Chains A and B, each alone.
Chain A
Amino acid sequence: MKRVLIAVFVFLTVLASCTAFAAEGDKTLVLRTERAVPSLDWEQTTNTSNMKVWHQMFEGLYGMDEANNGYYNELAKDVKISDDQMTYTVTLIDGVTFQNGDPLKASDVVFSYNRARKNSRFNYLTSMIEDVSSTDDKTVVFKLNKPYSPIAHTFFCVKIASEREVTEQGEKYGTVPHKAGTGAYYVTEFDVATGMKMQAYEGYWRGAPAIKNVQYVVIDDLSAAVIAFKNNELGYFEDVPLSEWDFLSEASGENNALIKGNNILFTAINYLSPTNNNILANQKVREAIFYAVNKNDINLAVSNGRGVEATQYMPSDYVATSPVSGFKTYDYNVEKSKELLKEAGYPDGVDVGTILTYGATSASKAILAQVLQANLAEVGITAQVSVMEAAVVTPRLYAQDYDICVFSDYGNYDYNNIRQQVHSESTGMYVVRYKDPASPFNWQRIEELVDAGVNTADVAKRLEYYTELWSIVMDTATILPCLHDPVGVVWAKDLDVGKPVPTYYKVRTFKWK
């Protein structure tokens, strides 16, 4: 008996050593981050999940307001563009201080941009910048190596950090809390594994935020996050699983919103596939496939009917220059699909190989693949479905080693991002190779239009170019946008978040009821 008691005592001692009970503190808004934040230096990843966290601490020359038409001037008071569209002169707003108390100066902007330019990770944002300099404390001049209309995205993505704070922290910068941003919050505790604690910056230039304490916790498992919210351990939960929507929206009372997502689920056909004697090189077969796709079925299966059936690659709600009409949309038409198959010489149907995608079998892409398979079967087209790990599938897609694929893209705020799907220089990013010796498409025009869109800041002109571009792409019957998945957001009953947005929420605009 004595030994049993000793064992119990040892057990209790070990249990007690797992730290003391937490003290009840000030009211803290707890948010989830699905991935560990590797650093407090915003330059360390381009992962959207991490960027959402950094947006609370840092600001750029431009801000992003998804609820109200995109970019707006944040730290930039005024931006002047030269006639040749290659020089941008930015005047900074007055009265901005970093969290360490230093005033924001043009030299800090130059420092931050030069730092970003040295980081290959941001090549896609900074490669067009030839030089950044300051003429006085409030003016920054950007010289570009070519006219580049999507520069607004660069101004949004590149965040401004205090030169003094970064230099003083040296190698430690990013690994320990700092006050290098101009944002409404600064970090007081940071642990890569568990998350971070933030405190309101009382000297914030827009006025001190209403919520004083913020905590980000790393919860990568969605089910755990759902339970944490229901258990009142999370105050704000975005990108919630739609399968749990009814449950979560009920738990949150009226504090929930389903927002049209800035994303696209699409299917693509590899016209270069050798399957079944190059069956997919046949334009009529590809068109027959697209006409067989019932986007309503996809919406019901993927999002319980809560998504938005897509015709655009980027929703014009978030991308001002995204074409809305003037291109083929392949609306669901079984008869037309069968007719095209007949014209192609396959009146009794045909096998088109495999629909390839990745992720969990219960996730959006896999569901879409299964619906697609069923849709094709309706018109006599047979296809297998293969769902594998992303690490296995994505290299195959980028190497055009597939027949039909289901893929997704998200977080585009400028139509120039279409470049990654259609331009021959985007090797390793596109899934359809338009420039190829065997290509029947006018890929030269596609690339001309991409360049033309970049070279002008005129929104109407850009829209015109991109409409022609998207029209050519849709005529190839190789990419078919299917669904904009909704983004579900729920928040605590005692929290007011204003107008919810799908991605870049701002805690500074939140307040306790």
Chain B
Amino acid sequence: MYKYVLKRLLFLIPTIFGVAFIIFLVMNITPGDPARALLGLSAPQADVDTLNHELGYDLPFLQKYFNYLKNMILHQDFGRSYFTKQSVFDEVWPRYVITIKLALIGVLLSALIGIPPGIYTAVKQYSLWDTIPSVIAFFIAAIPAFVFGLLMLFIFSLKLNWLPSFGATTVYHFIMPTLTIAIPPAAQVMRFTKSSMLEAIRQDYVRTARAKGASERTVIWKHALMNALLPVITQVGLSLGTLICGAVVAEKMFSIPGIGSLIIDRILYKDEPILLAGTILISICFTVVMLIVDITYAFIDPRIRAKYTTGRKE
């Protein structure tokens, strides 16, 4: 198991190199430069060239790339933002933490909202208790997140005056943004849970459990759900990754200083150090989340745990 985790963690290294390479490549092939964006149209070209040189922007592509990796690995230095001149890490990290919080709460909410009705509708298949939630889930899944955001802003901020409409200072500030990003994936989680449960409750072991006289509650919770949860966990894990990138909708709508909105803002200024650090952190997070999902499999499914424990390959 440790070997597996270690192997997966080592995969992070080529991932970081790859992400940095792609960003460098994109920044180099797109027109414009940071000095012109910073100095404005009236600045003489000579001054623009000088600033680009000071920023190291005029270096050959590969040299820039390797310099960046060297500074990052050897000195843990992500550089300084072209735009604000602040340390990139100091700027990116607090925003990254906010986005992670937002995404984490969002994914927990989506699981809490999505899984129970998914189970219930599967157990009550073809009844009214299946039809109504399923139709609602279809409806919700088809609505973009920003519509929920606007709707909540309208109701809870504008009409009821219960919740603040922007910022990320208190718990109250997080309620609407997290719900905004949680509800659409919750509908998907519900549908996924339902189909997974339906498949599980038709398996022979469930029939056997019933035949052995196990209570319906035990059959559903212990036998069916535990087996149905594996694909659901994958779905939830994937949606966490998606939410880290997709939280930008909520960040923009509720003026939350997250990593997504930072990256979008700085694209305009070709603020390469910020874009690199931001995307690298997102890719690391995505990889770690996938690793956690895989490890969770082992906790839930003894067969997988046994495979890692014995090192046996199928």
Whether B101 lies near A14 (C-beta < 8 A) is: yes
Which residue of chain B has its CB nearest to the CB of A7?
B112
Q: Name the interface residues of A161-189: CB closer than 8 Å to any CB of B.
A: 171, 174-175
Given contact pairs A11-B105, A38-B84, A123-B43, A233 touches B164 in the complex (Cβ within 8 A): yes
- Provide the bound-state CA to CA distance between A22 and B158, in Å: 21
Selected contact of A227 from candidates B40, B95, B158, B173, CB within 8 Å: B158
Is B41 close to A, CB under 8 A? yes
Max chain B C-beta neighbours (<10 A), residue from A192, A218, A223, A233:
A192
Whether A10 lies near B84 (C-beta < 8 A) is: no
Binary CB contact string for chain B from 239 to 281 against chain A (1 if under 8 A, 0 otherwise): 0000000000000111101000010010000000000000000
Whether B164 lies near A231 (C-beta < 8 A) is: yes
Is A121 close to B, CB under 8 A? yes
Whether B104 lies near A14 (C-beta < 8 A) is: yes
Is A46 close to B, CB under 8 A? yes
* Residues from chain A with Cβ under 8 Å of B84 in the complex: 38-39, 44, 175, 192
- Provide the bound-state CA to CA distance between A260 and B255, in Å: 29
Whether B101 lies near A17 (C-beta < 8 A) is: yes
Whether A228 lies near B166 (C-beta < 8 A) is: yes
Max chain B C-beta neighbours (<10 A), residue from A21, A194, A217, A232:
A194
Q: Name the interface residues of A416-458: CB closer than 8 Å to any CB of B.
A: 428-429
* Residues from chain A with Cβ under 8 Å of B51 in the complex: 120
Given contact pairs A10-B108, A227-B158, A18 touches B168 in the complex (Cβ within 8 A): yes
Question: How many B residues, CB 8 Å from partner?
Answer: 48
Q: Name the interface residues of A193-231: CB closer than 8 Å to any CB of B.
A: 193-194, 217-221, 223-224, 227-228, 230-231
- Provide the bound-state CA to CA distance between A17 and B253, in Å: 22
Whether A194 lies near B254 (C-beta < 8 A) is: no
Is A464 close to B, CB under 8 A? no
Selected contact of B105 from candidates A15, A192, A193, A218, CB within 8 Å: A15
Whether A223 lies near B174 (C-beta < 8 A) is: no
Is A276 close to B, CB under 8 A? no
- Provide the bound-state CA to CA distance between A22 and B173, in Å: 10
Whether B253 lies near A224 (C-beta < 8 A) is: yes
Is A239 close to B, CB under 8 A? no
* Residues from chain A with Cβ under 8 Å of B174 in the complex: 15, 18
Whether B169 lies near A228 (C-beta < 8 A) is: no
Whether B43 lies near A120 (C-beta < 8 A) is: yes
Whether A219 lies near B166 (C-beta < 8 A) is: yes
* Residues from chain A with Cβ under 8 Å of B164 in the complex: 231, 233
Is B85 close to A, CB under 8 A? yes
Question: How many A residues, CB 8 Å from partner?
Answer: 45
Whether B254 lies near A224 (C-beta < 8 A) is: yes
Selected contact of B165 from candidates A14, A218, A224, CB within 8 Å: A224
Given contact pairs A11-B108, A429-B41, A39 touches B85 in the complex (Cβ within 8 A): yes
Is B79 close to A, CB under 8 A? no
* Residues from chain A with Cβ under 8 Å of B109 in the complex: 11
What's the minimum C-beta distance from A419 to chain B, rounded to whole angstroms? 11
Whether A21 lies near B171 (C-beta < 8 A) is: yes
Q: Name the interface residues of B23-68: CB closer than 8 Å to any CB of A.
A: 38-44, 47-48, 51
Is B144 close to A, CB under 8 A? no
* Residues from chain A with Cβ under 8 Å of B133 in the complex: none
- Provide the bound-state CA to CA distance between A171 and B312, in Å: 58
- Provide the bound-state CA to CA distance between A461 and B252, in Å: 50
Whether A20 lies near B170 (C-beta < 8 A) is: yes
- Provide the bound-state CA to CA distance between A101 and B252, in Å: 40
Is B122 close to A, CB under 8 A? no
Given contact pairs A15-B105, A121-B43, A230 touches B158 in the complex (Cβ within 8 A): yes
Which residue of chain B has its CB nearest to the CB of A192?
B84
Is B131 close to A, CB under 8 A? no
* Residues from chain B with Cβ under 8 Å of A135 in the complex: none
What's the minimum C-beta distance from B170 to chain A, rounded to whole angstroms? 5
Which residue of chain B has its CB nearest to the CB of A219?
B255
Selected contact of B44 from candidates A123, A223, A227, CB within 8 Å: A123
Is B150 close to A, CB under 8 A? yes
Is B231 close to A, CB under 8 A? no
Which residue of chain A has its CB nearest to the CB of B255?
A219
Max chain A C-beta neighbours (<10 A), residue from B166, B254, B262:
B166
What's the minimum C-beta distance from A148 to chain B, rounded to whole angstroms? 15
What's the minimum C-beta distance from A262 to chain B, rounded to whole angstroms? 19
Selected contact of A217 from candidates B42, B83, B101, B167, CB within 8 Å: B167
* Residues from chain B with Cβ under 8 Å of A21 in the complex: 170-172
Whether B166 lies near A7 (C-beta < 8 A) is: no
Q: Name the interface residues of A224-253: CB closer than 8 Å to any CB of B.
A: 224, 227-228, 230-233
What's the minimum C-beta distance from B14 to chain A, rounded to whole angstroms? 31
Q: Name the interface residues of A21-66: CB closer than 8 Å to any CB of B.
A: 21-22, 36, 38-39, 44-46
Selected contact of A221 from candidates B39, B83, B252, CB within 8 Å: B252
Which residue of chain A has its CB nearest to the CB of B46?
A120
30 residue pairs from A and B, CB less than 8 Å apart: A11-B105, A11-B108, A14-B101, A14-B105, A15-B174, A17-B101, A18-B101, A18-B171, A19-B171, A21-B170, A21-B172, A39-B84, A44-B85, A120-B43, A121-B38, A121-B39, A123-B43, A175-B85, A175-B86, A192-B86, A192-B91, A194-B167, A217-B167, A221-B255, A224-B255, A228-B165, A228-B166, A233-B165, A428-B41, A429-B42
Known: A10-B108, A18-B101. 7 other contacts (CB 8 A): A8-B112, A14-B104, A18-B171, A22-B170, A123-B43, A123-B47, A231-B157
Which 10 pairs, one residue from A and one from B, show the smallest C-beta to C-beta distance?
A193-B257, A120-B47, A120-B43, A124-B42, A38-B84, A219-B255, A227-B165, A11-B108, A228-B165, A120-B39
